[in-house]
Chain A
Amino acid sequence: MSEAAAAIHTEDHAEHHEELSFLYKYILPVDHKMIAMQYMFTGLIMAVIGGYFAYVFRMQLAYPGESVPFFGIVGPGEYNMMVTNHGTIMIFWVAMPVLIAAFGNFLIPLMCGCDDMVFPRLNRLSYQIFLVSALVLILSFFVKGGGFGGAWTAYPPLSSVPEFSLTDWGASLWVLAVALEFVSFLLGGINFVTTAMNARAPGMKMLDIPIAVWFIVIAVILFMASVGPLIAGAVMLFMDQRIGTTFFLPSGGGDPLLWEHLFWFFGHPEVYVVLLPTMGIVADIITVFSRKKLFGYRTVLYTAFATGGLSFVVWAHHQFVAGIDPRMANVFVVTTVLISIPIAEMLFSYIATLYGGSIEYTTPMLWALSFLFAFLIGGVTGIYLGASALDVYFHDSYFVLAHFHYTFFPITIIGMFAAITFWFPKMFGRMMNETLGKIHFWGTFIPFNCIFLPLFFLGLAGQHRRIYNYDHFPDLATEELQDIRVFATASLVIMLIFQVIFLYNFFYSMFKGEKAPDNPWKANTLEWTVPSPPPHGNFKTLPTVYRGAYEYSVPGREMDYWPQNMPPDES
C-alpha cells in the first residue's frame, strides 16, 4: 500500500493501515478495486474459453468433418456443447462480470466519491460465489456425457430429460452454475444500487451522477426485478432433471412453454442489463473526447428508464413461433417496436454530442464510436425480427444470429475494450500503447464486420442456426453458401489472432508502460482526481461536488474541463 494511502485516515483508525497480507490483499480482499480486478480477470479468462469454442465450431462449419487444429474432429455432441456454452459464457461469464461487476465495482465508489462499497464483505462473497459458479460450469464440460448441449435457452423437454439431452450431469451442472451466478450478481447488485444511492459525496445530487454509474444502477435494478422468475424456473428445471418432477413435461401435466416464459421474462431484460452499462461507458468516453457537454443528460437518463420499463413487456417476441396466441403476439410486436424509440433517442443524443465537438481519435474513442456504428446495425435489424409476420420466416435462422451478434458483440467486446482502454491508466497507473491499441482496434473491428455481415445473407438464404454439418442438407450445401461460411470463419481466425496484440499491450503496459498522470484524459469525474492507481480508501478527504459530470468547454473558462469537485470560485 502506498504512503498516500497510509496517510489517509491516520487520525481515526490507525490500525487500518498495516500492510495487508497477500491473502487478504489479493485472494480475500474487501477493497472494491481488487474485487473489480478479480471479476475482470476471471471474465477475461472465460472470454478466452468462449472465444476458443467459437473458433472450434466455426471451423467445423467451414470445413465440416475435418480435423480442427488445436481440437481434432468435432462430433455433433461436442458441437452442440460448444455452441451452447459459447452463448452461456459470453453473456453470463463475460458480459455480466466484466461490464457490470468489474466496472461497477471499480467505478461506482470512485465516481460517487466514496471509499468503498457500502457492504464490502457482501461484495467479497459475491465474487467468491461467482468463482464457484465459473468452476462448476467448467466442471460440467468434463463429466460423463460432456457439457450441456441444449442451447443457452435450455428449452425443455430437451433440457430436462437426460434421455433427450444425452448429457445427464452436464445439463444439471449447467443449471446449477447459472443459478449460482445469479446469486452472486444478486449480492453484488444490492451493493451497487445501495452505494450509488446512499454513499455519494456531499453535494452530488441525483442529476450530477455520471451516466456510467446511472446506467449500471438501472441495469442492476432491471436484473434484480427480472431474475426472480428465472431462479424459480431454474429450480423447477433442476427438480425435473434430478428428482423426477414434471413441471415442464407435457406427459406429466407440465407445460414446456412455461419455461420459455420464465426464461424470456428474464432473458429479454437481460439484453438491456448488459446493454446499459456499455451505453453509459460510451456516453462518458464520447463526452471526454469530444470536449463537449453530453447532449441532453436528462433525456439520456429518462430514455434509460423508459427502456428499462418497456423491457419487461417485450419478452414474448422470442416465442412468436412457439405456439403462443397470435393476438398476444400482436401486442408484443407493438411493445417491441416501441422499445426501439428510447434506444434510438439515446443514440441520437450521443450523435448530437459528437456534432461540432473537437473529437480526438484516441483508442477508447475509436471503440466508443465503433460501438455506436455496430449497435445501430444490430438495432435496426432487430426491428425486422420484432415484427411477427417477418419473424415467422427469420426465426432460428442466421439472420437472427447475425442480428444479436451485432448487438452483443458491440455491447460485450467493444464495450469491454472501450472501458479497459479508457480506465486502464486509473486501474494500473500506466498508459497503454496507443499505436498497438489502434492496430488492435482495426484488427478487431474490420474482421468483426466480415464475420457477421455475410451471416445476414446466409440467414436470408434460409440457413438454419442449429445445424452441425450442412453437407447433410443439399439446399444449404451449395458452393456459394459454403464460400460465405469459409469467409466468415477466416475472418474470425484473423480477429482472434489480433487479440494477441491486445494481450501483449495489456500486460506489457501494466508493468512497463509509461507512468500515467492522475487525469490523463482531462476528464471531469471524481475518479480522475485521485492518484493512479487509487490507494486503499480512494480519497484523502471526502470530495465535495459542485456540478454535473459533463461541463466541458464551458464558455468564458480558460480550462476546457471543469472537474466536479473544483470549487466554483477557482479556475
Chain B
Amino acid sequence: MNPPSPNQTVLLATSEVALPGHPSRAKPPISSGVFGMLIFMVTEAMFFAGLISAYMVIRAGLAEWPPWGQPRLPVVATAFNTVVLLASGFLMAYSRSFFKQGELVQGRRWLGISILLGTFFLIFQGYEWVQLLKFGLTISSHIYGGLFYLLIGAHGFHVFAALAILIYIWKRLEVTNNSITPEGIFPFQLLWYFVVFVWPILYVLVYLT
C-alpha cells in the first residue's frame, strides 16, 4: 500500500514545481496558500455577517434589550480579555516579522507566546460561561441567551480551531528539520488575525450596546 507521492503530500501540489529545461510558471503575486486562505476568509466574513444580521434583526424585533430578568454580561472582565486577545494578535504579527527573515527560532518563541495569550482568552471565556450558566443564562432560557451563546460560541469555536492549527505548527517547528516554510505558516497566521479582528466587533455588539 503506497502512500500518495511525497510531492503531493505537502500543502502545494507539484504544479508549483517547474520541470527542468522548460519555461516555468510565472510566480503568482499572492502565494497559493495565502490566496486560498483569503477566499476562505471571505466565506467566514459572510458567515459572521449572517450571524450579526440575525442578531440585529431579532434584537430590533424585541421591545426591550437586554430583556428583564436575564443576567447581565461581564462587560469589564471581557474588556480585559479583549485586550489579551488583541495583544495575542499583535504578537502574532511580531512573530511573522521573524519568520519573514527566516529566523524560525525567534519566530517560534513569539508564536508560542501569542498562542498562550489566545489560550488564556479561550479559558477565560469558558470560565465566564460557567459563571453565566450558574446565574441562569442558558441557551434555551431566552432568545437573549441563545443569541449570546450562538455568536460568542461561534467565535470561540473559531479561536479553538485556529489555536489547534497554530499549536500543531508550533510543535512541528520544534525540530529544525521540517518541511514548514514561512510561507506555509502565514495563511494560518492570517486566520488568527481574522479571529482577533472579528472579536472587537462582537464585543461592542453583544456586550457594550
Partner of B5, one of A15, A224, A229: A15
Q: Given known contacts A18-B2, A232-B51, A247-B143, is B14 in contact with A115 (CB within 8 Å)?
A: yes
Of residues 1 through 47 on chain A, the ones whose CB sits less than 8 Å from some CB of chain B are 9, 11-13, 15-16, 18, 20-21, 23-24, 28, 30
Check if B183 is an interface residue, CB within 8 A of chain A.
no
Listed by A's residue number, 25 A-B pairs whose Cβ atoms lie within 8 Å are A11-B19, A12-B17, A13-B5, A116-B8, A116-B14, A117-B15, A119-B11, A119-B13, A121-B9, A194-B32, A198-B32, A198-B35, A199-B15, A227-B43, A228-B43, A229-B47, A229-B53, A230-B50, A236-B150, A239-B139, A239-B146, A254-B143, A265-B50, A537-B14, A544-B23
Partner of A226, one of B16, B17, B26, B46: B46
Check if B54 is an interface residue, CB within 8 A of chain A.
yes
CB distance from B208 to the nearest CB of A (A): 21
Chain A residues in 8 Å Cβ range of B142: 252-253
Partner of A246, one of B20, B57, B143: B143
CB distance from A16 to the nearest CB of B (A): 4
Contact A116 B15 (CB under 8 A): yes
Contact A190 B39 (CB under 8 A): yes
Contact A189 B154 (CB under 8 A): no
Contact A23 B61 (CB under 8 A): no
Contact B40 A190 (CB under 8 A): yes
Check if A277 is an interface residue, CB within 8 A of chain B.
no
Beyond the given A118-B32, A233-B50, please list 18 additional residue pairs across the A-B interface where CB-CB is below 8 A. Answer: A9-B19, A15-B5, A119-B12, A119-B32, A197-B28, A198-B35, A203-B23, A221-B39, A226-B46, A229-B47, A232-B47, A245-B139, A245-B143, A245-B146, A247-B58, A253-B58, A541-B22, A542-B23
CB distance from B158 to the nearest CB of A (A): 13
Check if A378 is an interface residue, CB within 8 A of chain B.
no
Contact A258 B54 (CB under 8 A): yes
Check if A201 is an interface residue, CB within 8 A of chain B.
yes
* Chain A 181-219 interface 0/1 with B at a Cβ cutoff of 8 Å (1 = within): 000001001110111011111110000000000000000
Partner of A199, one of B25, B40, B53, B154: B25
Q: Given known contacts A201-B25, A228-B49, A247-B143, is B39 in contact with A15 (CB within 8 Å)?
A: no
Most chain A CB within 10 A, of B13, B17, B57, is at: B13
Contact A255 B57 (CB under 8 A): yes
CB distance from A273 to the nearest CB of B (A): 13
Contact B50 A262 (CB under 8 A): yes
Chain A residues in 8 Å Cβ range of B25: 199-202, 542
Contact A117 B13 (CB under 8 A): yes
Partner of B58, one of A225, A255, A541: A255
Number of interface residues of B (CB under 8 A): 56
Chain B residues in 8 Å Cβ range of A225: 42-43, 46
Contact B8 A121 (CB under 8 A): yes
Check if B126 is an interface residue, CB within 8 A of chain A.
no
Partner of A239, one of B9, B22, B150: B150
Closest 10 CB pairs of A and B: A228-B46, A229-B50, A232-B50, A228-B47, A244-B140, A245-B146, A198-B28, A253-B143, A16-B5, A116-B13
CB distance from A335 to the nearest CB of B (A): 19
Check if B6 is an interface residue, CB within 8 A of chain A.
yes
Chain A residues in 8 Å Cβ range of B76: none
CB distance from A412 to the nearest CB of B (A): 24
Of residues 132 through 158 on chain A, the ones whose CB sits less than 8 Å from some CB of chain B are none
> Chain B binding site: helix, strand, loop or mixed by DSSP?
helix
CA distance A230 to B31 in the complex (A): 29
Check if A386 is an interface residue, CB within 8 A of chain B.
no
Contact A20 B2 (CB under 8 A): yes
Contact B54 A247 (CB under 8 A): yes
Chain B residues in 8 Å Cβ range of A118: 12-13, 15-16, 32, 36
Chain B residues in 8 Å Cβ range of A254: 58, 143
Residue of B nearest to A193 (CB): B39
Contact A194 B35 (CB under 8 A): yes
Contact A186 B13 (CB under 8 A): no
Of residues 51 through 87 on chain B, the ones whose CB sits less than 8 Å from some CB of chain A are 51, 53-54, 57-58, 61-62
Contact B20 A109 (CB under 8 A): no
* Chain B 148-179 interface 0/1 with A at a Cβ cutoff of 8 Å (1 = within): 00100010000000000000000000000000
Chain A residues in 8 Å Cβ range of B6: 13, 15-16
Contact A245 B140 (CB under 8 A): yes
Contact B13 A120 (CB under 8 A): yes
Contact A202 B14 (CB under 8 A): no
Chain A residues in 8 Å Cβ range of B24: 202, 542
Residue of A nearest to B143 (CB): A253
Chain A residues in 8 Å Cβ range of B154: 232, 235
CA distance A231 to B42 in the complex (A): 13
Q: Given known contacts A20-B2, A229-B50, is B22 in contact with A194 (CB within 8 Å)?
A: no
Residue of A nearest to B11 (CB): A119
Chain B residues in 8 Å Cβ range of A24: 1-4
Check if B48 is an interface residue, CB within 8 A of chain A.
yes
Chain B residues in 8 Å Cβ range of A236: 54, 150
Chain A residues in 8 Å Cβ range of B26: 202
CA distance A226 to B40 in the complex (A): 12
Residue of A nearest to B5 (CB): A16
* Chain B 168-207 interface 0/1 with A at a Cβ cutoff of 8 Å (1 = within): 0000000000000000000000000000000000000000
Check if B97 is an interface residue, CB within 8 A of chain A.
no
Residue of A nearest to B47 (CB): A228
Residue of B nearest to A21 (CB): B1
Partner of A227, one of B5, B20, B28, B46: B46
Partner of B140, one of A243, A261, A537, A542: A243
